[in-house]
Amino acid sequence: MQKNSSQTRFSNQLLHVLHVQLGVLVAPFIFIAALTGLLYALTPQLEHVVYQKQLFAVHDLSQSEQVLSLQVAAAQAVLPAQAVITAVRPAPQPNLTTRVLYLDPKDPEHSHAVFINPYTLAVQGQLPVYGTSGVLPIRTFLDNLHRNLLLGTFGRAYSELAASWLGIFALTGLWQWYRKRQQMKVTTQHPRQKNLRWHAWVGLSVFPMLLFFSATGLTWSNWSGANIAKLRHLANSDTPTLNTQLSPMSMPMDAHAEHHMPMQMSVHHQPLVLKNFDVIEKLAQQNGLTSEYLQIKPSYSSDKAWTIEEMRHRWPVQVDAIAVDMQQQKVVDQIEFSKFPLSAKLTRWGVDAHIGVLFCGMNQLVLVLSAALILILVAFAYRAWWSYAHVRSTLQHLNRQVFRLWQSANAVQRGISLFVLAVLYFLMPVWVLSILVLQIMLWMLNLRKPQGAVE
């Protein structure tokens, strides 16, 4: 009985330290992540206002949409010399423009997009874009602000830290509420108790989203995400990718290849054939790609296939894709979302829900409300803390608590704690490192350590 009591006391003290003392130090990162996430959730409305001229195609109702090859030709006419078209996203709706993405050899690190009115073939503007999917500047800025505070790869440690601690705080907070739920029912006018009560109720209301943000944030993070990807690979649950390599039999043969390249097959770099955009659109329809959101990636080498993929990320998700040998106008590879491994589907759904597109407006509304509640949750926690303690006293108390916990723990408890940290280092390396950094910080501050026996 005494052993069980000691074990329970150790566990309760450990969870209290994780949630309360460490929460005071780490919660600012969660507050920043929630604030920047809230701003990112509002991106669609911001883009529609700021980029209205580029995104929306004004036309007469009597006009019909031009074939895609003519739209690409209209974009090609205004491209810089030697520019290479990397992708084309046909207008998904009658009131939207077609987006033609290209790279300029003079600026190979940045992509740009030309916006074409599919009815009039008018150029409605150009914008720098990010990534292969052509993310617009505002979304790129807010995404980087949320992901890394505009600090690059190094800054991603902040968002991964926030995602790691968010799940820990949610679970330890639930336990704290369960233990003290009877006390919460007692009406009191003390400011600290009132703030803690509000903190608890807000936390309970947003608890499922705390776990969701933590899980999806880690999946999408830099270091934890890479480890999760390794686990999926070991479980043979990688997201399928198209094979765009064409077999030698499908490549056009050069009758004089043996004279100038006797040891290997020559690779013919080909000019862009605009009519191929019309051909691949028809092949996509014939092979079950029915989404209105499509992206075509042309190939400039005879040993590489063209690709066309669905880009509908709202429910039901459509991300099927095909690779096409344009010489023979034949599909050489195809991937279907319905055949993805379950972990790949969960990852896709999780990411799309995390950025607010899976369930359209309702998804966006839930994200905004959840982010706002997290901000309120942190605010109530700090109001309660500030009413009875300050930074130095909290650090002193934390130092004493950690020292007492370690001193009071038996060999089994210490061993389990170290084993758990070792396991979590693989899943949440930034979280484990933050624990070590915080401990080192306490030692460096040379705070007063408890004297005498442990109570």
pLDDT digits (tens, 9 = 90+) for 218-247: 998 999 999 988 888 888 888 999 999 997
Predicted confidence (pLDDT) per residue in 295-305, tens digit: 999 999 989 99
- The stretches of 109-222 forming alpha helices (DSSP H) are 137-148, 152-184, 191-205, 207-219
Q: In what order do the strands lie in the sheet with 123-129?
A: 123-129, 107-116, 98-104, 84-89, 294-297, 306-310, 321-325, 330-335
Identify the pLDDT of residue 195. Answer: 86
Answer whether 311's CB lies under 8 Å from 133's CB: yes
Q: Say what the pLDDT of residue 248 is.
A: 67
* Mean pLDDT along residues 128-153: 90
Asked if residue 95 lies in contact with residue 105, where contact means CB atoms within 8 angstroms, the answer is no
3-state secondary structure 72-115: HHHHHCCCCCCCEEEEEECCCCCCECEEEEEEECCEEEEEEEEE
Q: Is the pLDDT of residue 187 over 80?
A: no
Residue 324 burial class via C-beta count within 10 angstroms: exposed 0-12, middle 13-18, buried 19 and up: buried
Place of tokens 């949409």: 65
At 127, which helix (H) or strand (E)? strand 123-129
Kindly tell me if the per-residue pLDDT of 249 is higher than 60.
no
pLDDT of residue 416: 86
Q: Count Cα neighbours of 14 within 13 Å in the Cβ-side half-sphere.
A: 18
Whether residue 355 is predicted with pLDDT greater than 80 in this model: the reply is: yes
Query: Of 281, 280, 255, 277, nearest to 268 (Cα)?
Result: 255
Average pLDDT over residues 28-53: 95
Query: Rounded to an integer, what distance in angstroms lies between the CA atom of residue 293 and that of residue 20?
Result: 47
Query: Rounded mean pLDDT of the chain?
Result: 86
Residue-wise pLDDT tens digits, 252-285: 544 444 334 333 333 457 889 999 999 999 999 9
| 450: confidence class by pLDDT, cuts 50, 70, 90 | very low
Residue 269 sits at φ, ψ, to 5 deg, of -85, 125
> Which has more confidence, 396 or 67?
67
pLDDT of the residue at 213: 96
In the prediction, which pLDDT does 286 show? Answer: 95
Q: What is the pLDDT of residue 446?
A: 54
Residue appearing with tokens 């992540």? 33
Q: Could you give the CA distance from residue 428 to residue 159 in angstroms, rounded to a whole number?
A: 12
Structural domains in the chain, CATH included, are 57-135 (3.30.505), 268-339 (3.10.450)
CB atoms < 10 A from the CB of 33, how many? 25
Distance separating alpha carbons of residues 395 and 249, to the nearest angstrom: 70
149 φ/ψ sector (left φ>0, alpha ψ -120 to 50, else beta): left
Tokens representing 211 are 């776990």
Structure tokens, 215: 């899980």
Sequence-distant (6+) residues with CB within 8 A of 229 are 238
What is the per-residue pLDDT for 231? Answer: 87
Percent of the chain with pLDDT over 70: 87
Which residues touch 450 (CB under 8 Å, ≥6 apart)? 400, 403, 404
Mean pLDDT of 200-209: 95
Run of H or E including 409: none
Q: What is the pLDDT of residues 394-414, one digit of tens each?
A: 676 777 777 777 777 788 888
pTM for the full predicted model: 0.86
436 or 213, which is more confident? 213
Q: In terms of pLDDT, which residue wins out, 180 or 337?
A: 337
DSSP track, 306-351:
EEEEE-B-SSSPB--EEEEETTTTEEEEEE-GGGS-HHHHHHHHHH
Q: Give the whole-number percent of the chain exceeding pLDDT 90.
A: 60
